[in-house]
Amino acid sequence: MTANDVNVVTSQGVVAGVRGKRTRAGSVSWRGIPFAAPPVAQRRFGAPEPAANWPGVRAADRYGKAEIQRREFTAVAPGKFWPMGEDCLTLNVFAPQRRSSSPRPVMLFIHGGAYLLGTAATPLYDGSLLARDGDVIVVTAQYRFGAFGYLDFSAYSTPERTFTSNNGLRDQVAALEWVRDNIAAFGGDPTNVTVFGESAGGSAVTALLTAPAAEGLFARAISESPALGLVVDAEEAAVFADEFLRLLADPDRKSRTMERTEDPISPEKAQQLLTQASGREIHEASERLSRFAVRAGADAFIPFGPVIDGDYLPKRPVHAALAGQTHRVPLIIGTNKDEANLFAKMMSVLPGADEALLGVKDPEQRAALIAVYNDGHPRANIRMAGDAIFWGAMMPFAEGHMQHSPTFVYRYDYDPKVLRWVGLGATHATELFAVFGAFRMALGVGLAAGEWRNTARITRQVQRHWSVFARTGTPEKQWPQYDDASRSVMVLDVPPHVERNPQSVRREAWHKLHQLVG
């Protein structure tokens, strides 16, 4: 691609991009490119299939649809909501406009949202500034989530129609395959792809590091605030699929148990229900299934997530890492200092101590973990819940992966005054403002108020680490590799610094737990 090219030939046809304006000047974007066929009708709940070719030039100037979810989660501006639909498998490419003498590194981003919500159209995920300032190609992809992407109906397949597990994960693999086959036309290097994501997207990165189908599709990985508990064992996945079908048939159903006492649903009845239901009805049944999972005390606090099916995803990612079974690629992984504050203060969804340790069955293990946090801190439960969801499983994953591949661990501590004033601090997802340069966009200007110099410094710091890592496999030289000897953690702040073996007692307690249950 040259500085004047906006028309690019892909394997499906020609797409016409748009040059950036104002703060995004110096960049080019192509939005809403199909990377798979619409997952509708007979393709609903099935593996992604190749996108159809199109004639002429396709305008790539608008994001594709968001997956069906609550409307408020698709907000892209005050009073403006992004269109939703099942036909959502599109991606977006952002590139610097200036010429390059060699192919650029590629960074494919997977958005978060607890596998329940989110859209690549969210302004925070605009890849223009990261692409321009990091001199990389950025790709953002929309995938299926909720019931559409993460319920396993494979047991209800027939010779006429096959359902597959882990369709959201399969979508992400399909997006990586599209990048492999097409990104060179946009000036990217298909042999140097970094997959990165945040929250559920960071969890997806750890799943991709485990999934056999993803091996060889990326050369590096960045996992931001992964919630490694967002996976579902095969036994619970079967119960969730059964309950979901019954909820589709009877919206007033009030089941409260994971035990199945009713006659099994036949594949023919299941196919009828899953075919005839509208997208909105499927979403509404998904909402009821989420409430059922809480009422019934399921180990999977959220019923949607990658399924440990023994095939497409053989093991829980943290157990695979501890067994040395993740893909051999360099990894950046980390969390934010105040992860849990967002959920405790604004969303009212943070589990209490009992719920946070729901998967810890052994009373002695539960007591040992609670004792680690019983230090009189006024927010001890919030800290423990946040660690249970994010940091507690992330550290064993990092320690397993580091045994065979370069691993770099961070903690994001930067909290501008506005976030401190409202009691959020360096909470969940705030590092994305630095990653994507959003402190300079309308979305982030308010957070940067009175701290323009510091927000510029943290943005430059994080983008340099991310883009240098994408280019070379190591962040900038001041960031040491995580190893058994030092357990060095890069603290991303203004100024940055390195801590050696922070929170060692808590880390060892979580590591022991995951070793025992693995």
- Catalytic residue numbers read 199, 339, 428
- Rounded distance, CA 191 to CA 188, Å? 9
The token pair that represents 363 in the structure block: 């009373």
Q: What Cα–Cα distance (Å) separates residue 271 from each residue in 41, 85, 201?
A: 11, 20, 30
Q: Which of 72, 13, 67 is nearest to 44 (CA)?
A: 67
- Sequence-ordered list of residues with C-beta below 8 angstroms from that of 174, at least 6 positions apart, any chain: 35, 36, 48, 89
- What one-letter code names the amino acid at 271? Q
- Strand 14-16 and strand 7-9: pairing? antiparallel
Cis status of the peptide bond prior to 159, with omega within 30 of 0: no
Pick from 98, 99, 97, 121: which is nearest to 109 by CA?
121
Please tell me the chain's helix, strand, coil percentages from 3-state DSSP, rounded to the nearest 5.
40, 20, 40
Q: How many angstroms separate the first and last alpha carbons of the chain?
A: 47
DSSP 84: B
Residue length of the chain: 518
Among residues 468, 392, 467, 366, which one has the least CA distance to residue 226?
392
DSSP state at residue 302: S
Q: How far apart (Å, rounded) are the C-alpha atoms in residues 352 and 499?
A: 29
The Cα–Cα gap between 414 and 407 comes to: 22
Q: Which of 146, 157, 139, 24 is nearest to 90 (CA)?
A: 139
- Report how far residue 224's alpha carbon sits from residue 390's, in angstroms, rounded to the nearest whole number: 10
